[in-house]
Amino acid sequence: MTEKDEKDVEVPLLEDYDATIPDSQTKADNPPPSAPKSKPIPPLKRTALAFFILCIWFYFVFTVSFYFFSFLGNHYDHTLDVLKNTASKTYDLMTELYELLVEMGYYDATMIGRPPHSPGINRTLAAELEFSREAVEMMEMLPYLQQGQEEGPLGWGEDNNFLLSGTFADLRDDGVLSYTRDPMFAVEDSSKGFDEDGGKYMRPNYVCLSLPGEGYGAIMILDVKTLKLWTIDQETMGLQADPALKGIELKEAPGNMFSPENAASRLARDALRDYIQRFKTLEWIPGGKSNGTWDGDEYARLYKENGWPESFNSTAFNIAREQWEEDDMARWDAEAPFQEVTKLDYWIQVALDDIGRKRKMIANVDAGVEIPDNKTDREAYKQELQEEVKKRIESLPKLHAELEVAREVLNSVDPEVKKAREERVRKYGA
């Protein structure tokens, strides 16, 4: 067959296809007198060709629709994404997090206070504190944990450590609500604007989802407008505590150095999902512990031994945990001689450092360097320093003698205790 023949053949075939195939076959069976001069195509070949073209046609239709629908799908996903990133997602995830901690045996399910809250947020106070309407709405919808009060500590941790050593924020409490306006204790003059150092740094849309404990721990700050979450370390003056953002430097922005905007953030739903996952995998342990530390790894072991995650028995876990805590106290007592040696070594070092420093200061006085403002007499000042050095030197023999005794006591420590300690120190440090 020549190329020309092929082309001649294709045209009627496509027409045939458009009319119906059986019809074309009858035609093929009884070629009309005006049939092309070229050799008639055998019926079998015609059918095969028709089939082939049909396949191409379907392939084409399929491919086009595939791309069309996947485009639609992406568009739909994106819309879904926007929908999912709503305020409700945030309080749903907070509820999930609180519930997970119940599942982990950290506190009882009855401790979770769910909306509608009664009494709710003090709206008068919220208005005085300049919270936005959206912020108050978010606060009304968040779950809270009853503060421990009479029942004693909330969970097993003394400070009710919630997340990265932060504590739960019960915004229904007026004192807590006020505290969330200055969780870093950084406002010096509340008449100053948000962009001035020493002024307010918590904008009307910022809601604290967790608070620092006794002066340390992470704060979760939610911007209810953008639904971005900052997880900031209170202790290190606003450094990111969100593990996903750890490497990111603080921005050197003009304005209030305590502004959360100086730190990186991510969508609350992404951060909260990540935090939930970290608890589930026992990377984080309720009570402010994490894996890779002595107690964090021990707690994780107890979780696994008691069936975490598939068949976890929180009653059995809590019995084992209390036993472990008791054993760990006993271990601490048994290791007291080691702590004594460490302490005495430290005191001796402090004394030696101080002697070195004071001798340098005496040399400076001799060399005519300026003395502190509240010292008027150079000679008296020098004598004062010399007296301090003498006292330190005199304290050394006693410290050395005590160290000697402490080292003796070490010899009498149970070899098992020694061995266990060595293993622990090798893995986690002293």
**Binding residues for ligand NAG (CB under 6 A):** 122, 124-125, 128, 174, 281, 283, 291-292, 313, 315-316, 319, 372, 374
Q: Is the peptide bond before 243 cis (omega within 30 degrees of 0)?
A: no
In the block, residue with structure tokens 């608890």: 279
Comparing CB distances to ligand NAG, the nearer of 165 and 259 is: 165
Q: Closest separation between CB of residue 110 and ligand NAG, Å? A: 19
Closest CA to 103 of 242, 276, 293, 294: 276
Euclidean distance between CA atoms 318 and 330, whole angstroms: 18
Q: Closest separation between CB of residue 218 and ligand NAG, Å? A: 18
Comparing CB distances to ligand NAG, the nearer of 267 and 320 is: 320
Buried/exposed 70-82: b ≥16 CB within 10 Å, e otherwise: eeeeeeeeeeeee
Comparing CB distances to ligand NAG, the nearer of 124 and 191 is: 124
Handedness of CA 254, 256, 257, 258 (dihedral sign): negative
Q: Closest separation between CB of residue 129 and ligand NAG, Å? A: 9
Q: Closest separation between CB of residue 284 and ligand NAG, Å? A: 9
Q: Helices in 335-377 by DSSP H: which ranges?
A: 336-366
Comparing CB distances to ligand NAG, the nearer of 169 and 344 is: 169
User: Which residues lie closer than 8 Å to 168 by C-beta, 6 or more apart?
Assistant: 144, 145, 147, 154, 160, 162, 210, 211
Q: Closest separation between CB of residue 237 and ligand NAG, Å? A: 24
Q: Closest separation between CB of residue 98 and ligand NAG, Å? A: 22
Largest CA distance in the chain: 135
Closest CA to 24 of 1, 46, 51: 46
Q: Closest separation between CB of residue 272 and ligand NAG, Å? A: 17
Answer yes or no: are the C-beta atoms of 285 and 274 closer than 8 Å: no
Q: Closest separation between CB of residue 285 and ligand NAG, Å? A: 10
Report which residue's Cβ sits closest to ligand NAG.
292
In the block, residue with structure tokens 């007198």: 33
**Coil vs helix vs strand at 357:** helix
Q: Closest separation between CB of residue 308 and ligand NAG, Å? A: 12
Comparing CB distances to ligand NAG, the nearer of 86 and 313 is: 313
DSSP state for residue 371 in the 8-state scheme = -
Comparing CB distances to ligand NAG, the nearer of 78 and 360 is: 360
Q: Closest separation between CB of residue 117 and ligand NAG, Å? A: 12
Comparing CB distances to ligand NAG, the nearer of 88 and 313 is: 313
The bridge status of strand 218-223 relative to strand 206-212 is: antiparallel
Comparing CB distances to ligand NAG, the nearer of 227 and 282 is: 282
Euclidean distance between CA atoms 190 and 254, whole angstroms: 18
In the block, residue with structure tokens 């001689």: 337
Comparing CB distances to ligand NAG, the nearer of 132 and 291 is: 291
User: Which residues lie closer than 8 Å to 370 by C-beta, 6 or more apart?
Assistant: none
Comparing CB distances to ligand NAG, the nearer of 114 and 427 is: 427
Cα 371 to Cα 157, 387, 388, 392, distances in angstroms: 48, 17, 16, 22
Q: Phi and psi (nearest 5°) for 220?
A: -100, 120
Left, alpha or beta for 215 (phi > 0: left; psi -120 to 50: alpha)? left
Q: Closest separation between CB of residue 111 and ligand NAG, Å? A: 20
Answer yes or no: are the C-beta atoms of 107 and 155 closer than 8 Å: yes
Comparing CB distances to ligand NAG, the nearer of 308 and 338 is: 308
Closest CA to 407 of 323, 348, 352, 362: 348
